[in-house]
Amino acid sequence: MKGGDAHSDKGNTRTIEVFDTTLRDGEQTPGISFTNEQKLTIARQLEKLGVDIIEAGYPISSKDEREIVKLICEEGLSAKICGLARVLTQDIDACIDCGVDLIHIFVPSSRIQREHTTKMSEEAVKEQTYEMTKYVKDHGFSCMFSAMDATRTRQDFLVDLFKTAEEAGADILNVPDTVGVSEPFSIFELVGEIYRAVNVPISIHCHNDFGLAVANSLAAVKAGASEVQVSVNGLGERAGNADLAETVMSLNSIYGLKTNIKTEYLFETAKLIERFSGVQIPITKPIVGENAFSHESGIHAHGVIEKSDTFEPGIMTPEMVGHRRRIVLGKHTGRHSIENKLSEIGMFPPKEQLDEILERVKALSVSGKKVTDDDLFTIAEVVTGEVAGHERVITLKELSVMTGNNLIPTASLKAVVRGKECTSAQMGVGPVDAALKAVQEIIGDEIGGDIELRDFRIEAITGGSDALAEVIVGVKKGDRVVTARGARDDIVMASIEAFINAVNRLLQE
């Protein structure tokens, strides 16, 4: 879409390419190092997400790096695999040896970087750019050229340098805001200038030193860039790169532009990178943060329960990004939220009891406790007396599981069902499966086989191998479906606790 219409996206059906650099710039985040196995898993997840290009690494940097870039290339993904190289033959040869699809060559172009790193004159930078772009092309590879620190480079020289790369055959030109000093208006001007001077596609690579990386990337797209360089959770040098989810959702939902990203996998991708990187996603992070679609205050929760668009963007829903909406209980909770949550488990207390439940929920929150749905249900049971004094239909007494690479996972379980002690031992494809089968057997024998396990979701809600696991289970009897949660640091216990909670609620009706 050359020729002046780049600055208006009216009626624009451009598809913007997504170039992911989580494995390269993302791994340059101080303190982060992915294992090779993690890198392969990340590459497969990026493929599932639909990114167009995966920057897999910087092959010259180590033998290990070359090995993993090669392995990613051998995966046969449909995303193009890119390797990074300085404008040096040995760097480019390392990329060639790995079998990448695209070689990304870069050279410092600003005066400050040239004088204090490469000691190259502008003329030498141009010459080396020409030679090395040609070298990549002569070897039959696609070439991306980056003028490092472009946004602090003398503009005439920068445009000249990009033209030189174009002349030598570069397939795409990248404009890095290496130290994140740009703002949307200046990026718009700069990219527009380059866009008008060359005839190859432009990519934008923004760092987030002032929190403007996403805004700057969007401005560059407005000015004609057709590719955004992003990373999952915004990982990258210093304050990171433009965040993939934020950039893609803004392009889609605000600008009405297309990408090939399957946005429903954004949340799970962010969670994977959170786990592998050990960098926790802030609760307030847009799109993938825990609070991105959470509501506590009475007015907001009431509105959202009636119609979600009242206090959410509407042009972006939790379903679109694979997240979930949560009505959170706390000191700002209103009666509507309580009523709504209780109705989900079939409790409909009268107004006076509802007021008392609300007061107790607020008091619990003010005392400093995070109020969970289970806390609410316990309060409601006590206030309404609906279940108070009743035995739980099924109570777990003991659970042990055995698993290992030479064992069929087996679970033995003891539970009391309506006052009678029952035991079961079952095998499964994994320990959770075996334990669930053991509970199901007891339920089938003692209560009847018409309780179906419907929904089963495991979510690691904190990072690390000692993550607290939150399990959500739905059970069905007739046309009633009840869901319940379990949260433990032991995933098998959390699963069984959630299942038993759900069955108890279903049967207490």
In one letter, which amino acid is 289?
G
Nearest CB to ligand KIV, comparing residues 174 and 333: 174
In one letter, which amino acid is 286?
P
Q: How far apart are CA 281 and CA 463, in angstroms?
A: 9
Please count the residues of this chain forming the interface with Zn ion, following the rule CB under 5 A. 1
Q: Among Zn ion, ligand KIV, none, what binds residue 146 when CB lies within 5 to 8 Å by partner kind? A: ligand KIV
Q: Smallest gap, in angstroms, from Cβ of residue 255 to ligand KIV?
A: 24
Is there binding between residue 497 and Zn ion (CB under 5 A)? Answer: no
Nearest CB to ligand KIV, comparing residues 235 and 473: 235
Check: CB of residue 107 under 8 Å from CB of residue 117: no
Q: Smallest gap, in angstroms, from Cβ of residue 149 to ligand KIV?
A: 6
Q: How far apart are CA 487 and CA 459, in angstroms?
A: 9
Task: Please name the helix (run of DSSP H) or strand (run of DSSP E) that holds residue 440, with its range, or none.
Answer: helix 431-446
Q: Among ligand KIV, Zn ion, none, what binds residue 106 when CB lies within 5 to 8 Å by partner kind? A: ligand KIV
Check: CB of residue 12 under 8 Å from CB of residue 6: no
In angstroms, how far is the first alpha carbon of the chain from the final one? 62
Q: Among Zn ion, ligand KIV, none, what binds residue 14 when CB lies within 5 to 8 Å by partner kind? A: none
Q: What is the DSSP string of 146-160?
A: EEETGGGS-HHHHHH
Q: Smallest gap, in angstroms, from Cβ of residue 93 to ligand KIV?
A: 18
Residue located via tokens 């802030």: 282
Nearest CB to Zn ion, comparing residues 201 and 240: 240
Q: How far apart are CA 3 and CA 7, in angstroms?
A: 10
Q: Smallest gap, in angstroms, from Cβ of residue 217 to Zn ion?
A: 12
Q: Smallest gap, in angstroms, from Cβ of residue 199 to Zn ion?
A: 25
Using a 10 angstrom Cβ sphere, with 0-12 exposed, 13-18 middle and 19 or more buried, the burial of residue 342 is buried
In one letter, which amino acid is 88?
L
Interaxial angle between packed helices 491-508 and 431-446, expressed in degrees from 0 to 180 and rounded to the nearest 10:
20
Nearest CB to Zn ion, comparing residues 177 and 373: 177
Q: Smallest gap, in angstroms, from Cβ of residue 205 to ligand KIV?
A: 5
Check: CB of residue 129 under 8 Å from CB of residue 164: yes
Is there binding between residue 227 and Zn ion (CB under 5 A)? Answer: no
Q: Smallest gap, in angstroms, from Cβ of residue 178 to Zn ion?
A: 6
Per CB under 5 A, the segment of 20-28, 79-87, 261-269, 403-411 that binds Zn ion is: 20-28
CB nearest Zn ion: which residue? 25
Q: How far apart are CA 152 and CA 158, in angstroms?
A: 9
Q: Smallest gap, in angstroms, from Cβ of residue 229 to Zn ion?
A: 8
Is there binding between residue 52 and Zn ion (CB under 5 A)? Answer: no
Per CB under 5 A, the segment of 23-31, 243-251, 288-296, 480-488 that binds Zn ion is: 23-31
The C-alpha angle 273, 275, 276, rounded to 5 degrees, equals 65
For residue 176, the number of C-alpha atoms closer than 13 Å in the C-beta half-sphere is 22
Nearest one of 142, 157, 145 to 100, comparing CA atoms: 142
Q: Among ligand KIV, Zn ion, none, what binds residue 501 when CB lies within 5 to 8 Å by partner kind? A: none
Nearest CB to ligand KIV, comparing residues 22 and 178: 178
Check: CB of residue 265 under 8 Å from CB of residue 49: yes
Nearest CB to ligand KIV, comparing residues 205 and 271: 205
Q: What secondary structure letter does DSSP report for 406?
A: T
Nearest CB to Zn ion, comparing residues 69 and 434: 69
The C-alpha angle 216, 217, 221, rounded to 5 degrees, equals 115
Per CB under 5 A, the segment of 25-33, 74-82, 184-192, 279-287 that binds Zn ion is: 25-33
Nearest CB to ligand KIV, comparing residues 27 and 246: 27
Q: Smallest gap, in angstroms, from Cβ of residue 248 to ligand KIV?
A: 19
Nearest CB to ligand KIV, comparing residues 122 and 433: 122
Binding site for ligand KIV (CB under 6 A): 25, 106, 146, 148, 174, 176, 178, 205, 207
Among 17, 20, 25, 243, binds Zn ion (CB under 5 A): 25
Nearest CB to ligand KIV, comparing residues 24 and 285: 24
Joined together, the tokens standing for residue 255 give 């600008």
Q: Smallest gap, in angstroms, from Cβ of residue 38 to ligand KIV?
A: 21
**CB-based contacts of 335, cutoff 8 Å, min separation 6:** 298, 354, 355, 358
Which residues contribute to the site for Zn ion (CB under 5 A)? Answer: 25
